[in-house]
Structure 1
Amino acid sequence: MTSGTRSSAKRLDESAADPTSEAAPGSKHKTEAAESPEAKRAKTSDEKQQKTIEETIGSKTNGTSHNSKAEQAVKTEDAGTEDDKNEPKQEQQQASKAASPSPKQEEESAVEPHGRDDSEAVPSSILEKGIIYFFFRGRVGIDEPSEVDDIARSYIVLRPIEKDAKLGSGPIGDAGNGRLCAIPKKVLPQSGRDRWIAFVEKTGASFQKLKDEFLSASDYATKTAGTRHSPAATPIGEGVYAITSTGRESHLVYMLTLPEKLGEVQHEIGLKEKGSFILSTKNPEYPGPASARLPEAPEYPEEVIKGFRSLRWMPTQPEHLDYANAQFLLVGESSGVEKALEPQKKDEKAGKQDPADELEKLEEEDTERMKDLGKDDAGSIYADLQVHAKDYPKLQTTF
């Protein structure tokens, strides 16, 4: 990393973590920008040219049929020649808030009422829970990445379910409330020094919308390089998640269901069997650094804006993620999931479920239902998303 890049990254981190009371949750961690560990491979000459979000958010790039302005604004290795960069950008997709499932969708969903008694009440620290999918997309023209440098960026898809629900058999069902979160890095943050600014690319998304605008490959024309190919998104994991609150901080904690055994790809990307990140949402009324601005701000309603008060960053609430272009800080936690799943004293006094037990039960239910969805891991994931597996890449575990 050049000295200029380090300086830019440090400025971004300092803006994201105000040392006063407006500091983002997780600001107690060191704020120096750090590349995520990629210990299993040797440094390549291409890696030295890898751009970070700090360098690329404001850059102009060429669009594809499944990328909106927000994603174009942070596109990294996919950028081509100067003529490519001057190509007209695709109009941003209009995102809507999560829709309620229709009666038909409810009948086809594995989500079931839990029928809890008071002793099984969901702990108040769990703000949201659901199914999580991890994907990456290869660089332009690379359908089968053979190393981390062949990856353009990573993605997280969140499919929320009711907090007191349990999972039965069959696909999760399309409630039209999916969220696609783009992480303009090749890998996930691993420690408090890794502080990525991610954003909500699509919200209120049906599985059909994810298929048409995210999962599928696409080709597009450029003035000088002819037709260029953007590969399909590749799955690398599926599991359950919860957005939790520990008072001062919010966390995104997950437990993987698939693959059953993590491979080289999962380790290189930074996935774990159990992992968590600190989440902080950026107040859109405060301009970020010029290098970290999206073309459009999220259209938060007045009550959400009021919730920020005068803070530049605040602990992420699930409703923040229901708006396209919402920016949030994703801070790595190397200490495991214990802090993210720490029970609150008021819940312990009330005899409510332990947050860890709640998520582990959900993971057990998810493991059972995913067993019969497909012939392999990829087939199970695509069946869950109502997509024909034969049209898309297999779940990748090795390079």
Structure 2
Amino acid sequence: MTTSTRSSASKNQGNNSAGGAAPPASEAEPGSKHKVDEEGAPSPEAKRAKKEPQQKTIEETIGDKEETKNEQSPKEEDNAQESAAKGTPPATENKKQHNGGQGEGGAIEPHEAPESIPTSIVEKGIIYFFFRGRVGIDEPSEVSEVARSYIILRPIANDAKLVSGGTIGDAGNSRLCAIPKKVLPQSGKDRWISFVEKTGASFQQLKDEFLTSNDYVTKTAGTRHSPAATPIGEGVYAITSTGRESHLVYFLTLPEKLGEVQREIGLKEKGSFIISTRNPQYPAPKNAQLPKGPEYPKEILDEFRSLRWSPTQPKHLDHVNTQFLLVGESSGVDKALEPQKKDQEQGKDEPAEELERLEEADAERMKDLSSDDASRIFADLQAQAGEYPKLQTTF
């Protein structure tokens, strides 16, 4: 096994800040039948959601009631309506969401030995971590002043590798996921229901509809200011399948050393979560309901069978309003990157080796982009760093 150039992960402090959707009380393993709603509920018949002309954003549905009630900006409303009007194409029909295309940029090349890639890695790519301060707070001084945290996943092809000398490129296949709990789950007791807010997004869409700040007028409080999204980390990720469970595992590239903000939010140098997708054919928990569910094709709905939760597959995350459960793994990344017996028999690389190579290549290419972390992240997202906050490491 190759040795990672990064140091071991710092021990993180758990954080149970209030806000967002409460985790289910059941301690059953994700991938089995989670008891999120009432026990004994009969298995519903698979039905496709009907398209509606408008769709509420996550901020409208599960955000801080004091800030979002009657206060959504016109810009956010226009974006939500435009997205709903266009509709979300089925994952099987959107090639950009699956081919991991490199788009513009010289950082992606064919893998030297694609046959050696472990089958347990079902998706890999670049991951970005952001948070947004509460309305009127551009620079949060503590976690309580954070509205919510976000994860951006930018997949690349499984048979590709990263090289230095360029940005990741925009393939129009990025996903924006919202973490209503503000912080990341740290242990098996932390079970956060999170949401896919945007799919198949270009970097231009992320700039226009997520990264920027905006001022808007409300009937009750006058002009309000929604701050820009603040970067707090970047790295590489993999969605792995270990049989009964799926895992979202990441190796952080930036910042090189964890700061106070990263520790408080729950970031680690190497971290992982068990990740499971909620079956929309069952009622959602009352405190995690959305006005409209994901528009899964019948193929995906049938795969849930009678399970309330199923191990997450990348195609689940290609649908707006997918609800997924993040369960903390305090034991580290070993379980998420456990090699499969079949892969070992075939002489394939271990998952940890593949992710370590990806991390080392990402660290090298990010150094080439700029002299400071924030500029590197925004350059990778094809944005001007001067228009956005610096990467925050201290409160």
- Give the structure-2-normalised TM-score: 0.82
1:155 corresponds to which residue? Answer: 150
Alpha-carbon separation, structure 2, partners of 1:138 and 1:223: 22
SS at match of 1:146: coil
Is 1:22 paired with 2:33?
yes
1:335 corresponds to which residue? Answer: 331
Is 1:313 paired with 2:309?
yes
The 5-angstrom pairing of residues 89-128 of structure 1 reads 90=77, 91-92=80-81, 93-94=83-84, 95-96=88-89, 97=91, 99-100=95-96, 106=103, 108-116=105-113, 118=115, 121-128=116-123
Q: List gaps (5 residues or longer) in structure 2.
A: 1-17, 37-54
Is 1:131 paired with 2:126?
yes
1:39 corresponds to which residue? Answer: none
1:144 corresponds to which residue? Answer: 139
The 5-angstrom pairing of residues 1-399 of structure 1 reads 9=22, 12-14=24-26, 17=28, 22-23=33-34, 69-76=57-64, 79=67, 84=71, 90=77, 91-92=80-81, 93-94=83-84, 95-96=88-89, 97=91, 99-100=95-96, 106=103, 108-116=105-113, 118=115, 121-168=116-163, 169-399=165-395
Higher relative contact order (CA 8 A, sep 6+): 2
Alpha-carbon separation, structure 1, partners of 2:72 and 2:383: 32
How much does 1:68 deviate? 5.1
SS at match of 2:369: coil
How much does 1:295 deviate? 1.0
2:43 corresponds to which residue? Answer: none
Alpha-carbon separation, structure 2, partners of 1:205 and 1:140: 25
What residue identity is the alignment partner of 1:69?
T
Deviations along 1:284-322, whole A, 9 cap, x unmatched? 111122222111110011111111011110000011000
- Give the structure-1-normalised TM-score: 0.81
SS at match of 1:22: coil
Deviations along 1:47-79, whole A, 9 cap, x unmatched? xxxxxxxxxxxxxxxxxxxx9523321112662
Q: Per the alignment, do residues 21 and 129 of structure 1 end up closer, same or farther by CA in structure 2, a change over 3 Å counting?
A: closer
Q: Per the alignment, do residues 68 and 219 of structure 1 end up closer, same or farther by CA in structure 2, a change over 3 Å counting?
A: farther
Q: Per the alignment, do residues 363 and 77 of structure 1 end up closer, same or farther by CA in structure 2, a change over 3 Å counting?
A: farther
CA RMSD of aligned residues (A): 2.8
Q: Is the 8 A contact 1:109 1:174 kept in 2?
A: no
What residue identity is the alignment partner of 1:112?
E
Alpha-carbon separation, structure 2, partners of 1:183 and 1:289: 16
Alpha-carbon separation, structure 2, partners of 1:249 and 1:141: 40
Q: List gaps (5 residues or longer) in structure 1.
A: 28-66
Alpha-carbon separation, structure 2, partners of 1:188 and 1:70: 18
What residue identity is the alignment partner of 2:25?
D
Q: Per the alignment, do residues 302 and 19 of structure 1 end up closer, same or farther by CA in structure 2, a change over 3 Å counting?
A: closer
